[in-house]
Amino acid sequence: MLTIGKIAKASGCKVQTIRYYEQIGLIAAASRTEGNQRLYRQADVDRLQFIRHARSLGFSTDTIKDLLTLENHSEMSCAAVDNIAREQLALVQGRIKQLQSLAKELESMISQCAHEDIAHCKILQALHEHDHCDDHKPLDV
């Protein structure tokens, strides 16, 4: 059995994150000692590493819950998991396109910079132009 500090170190997750994942049901509630200290198993470390990897790929906690639920039905076709992964790939590809568009706009702004004084700064002037605001949504990265 592992304490929360040891499971945090073993999984690479912060203690607060582990408590949050327990609160929202991504990991099972830990057993407790008589002193009310949480105790975890190696299976919890494995699950936290799964969650951490899925989060690094951009999966939401709700989607990870779905994946973990599907994992418990080993007899089912993995088509549902495949669909979830394809949806995530489409989201990532959309973000890439958005980032490429932002990079082009920034490159354009920088190329117009004549290194004049701040009063004539082309970058600041471009940032004040509001006609391009609707082209870009804030990134969720």
Range of the domain at 115: 79-135
**pLDDT of amino acid 7:** 95
Q: What's the CATH number where 23 sits?
A: 1.10.1660.10
Residue 72: inside a domain:
no
**pLDDT of amino acid 99:** 95
Output the average pLDDT for the chain: 89
84 and 53 in one domain?
no
Average of pLDDT values for 16-30?
A: 94
50 and 87 in one domain?
no
Average of pLDDT values for 131-137?
A: 60
125 and 93 in one domain?
yes
**pLDDT of amino acid 139:** 59
Q: CB neighbours (10 Å) of residue 20? A: 14
85 and 41 in one domain?
no
> Beta partners for 2?
40
Q: Model-level pTM?
A: 0.77
Q: Compute the distance between CA of residue 96 and CA of residue 112 in angstroms, rounded to an integer.
A: 24
- Number of structural domains found in the chain: 2
